[in-house]
Structure 1
Amino acid sequence: MLEQLGTMGRYLGQSLRLMVGLPDYQTYVAHMESTHPDREPMSYEEFFRERQEARYGGGQGKCC
């Protein structure tokens, strides 16, 4: 029962971070380790910068 509540809490936290645009670095690292073990994951700073570029497009499409 407590394990299920912990799992639900993690999913809720992840969902809330995604809703406000904060990427989940730990999920990315786990994905890289499980599906791409031959590739080194980006550092947190590189990951954050890449996610910002993906979200905001590096300034393209702005009116100002």
Structure 2
Amino acid sequence: MSIAIAANAVQQFWRRAVQTARLAIGVPDYDTYVLHLRRNHPERVIPSYEEFFRQRQDARYKNGGTRGCC
């Protein structure tokens, strides 16, 4: 196996590991979101990572982070 192929495999593994960790704690993947916007909504402005993160946090905790009943 060449060094370039091994490096690419490690890089892909790392990306997947980071993506999995982010999804496990409830943080969507920014790169996947950008790809989705470019493919399906080319007219939309792509937010910066900071804007994206803030939007996701607002959506997740829109009720102040409290549960409605418990």
Fold in common (TM above 0.5): yes
TM-score under structure 2 length normalisation: 0.62
Higher helix share: 1
TM-score under structure 1 length normalisation: 0.66
Counterpart of 2:19? 14
Unmatched tracts of structure 2, length 5 or more: 1-5
Structure 1 range deviating more: 40-49 or 51-60: 51-60
Q: How many residues align?
A: 63
Structure 1's consecutive aligned runs of 4 or more residues displaced over 3 angstroms after TM superposition are 2-13
Identical aligned pairs, as a percentage?
A: 46
Alignment counterpart, residue 53 of structure 2, candidates 26, 48, 53: 48
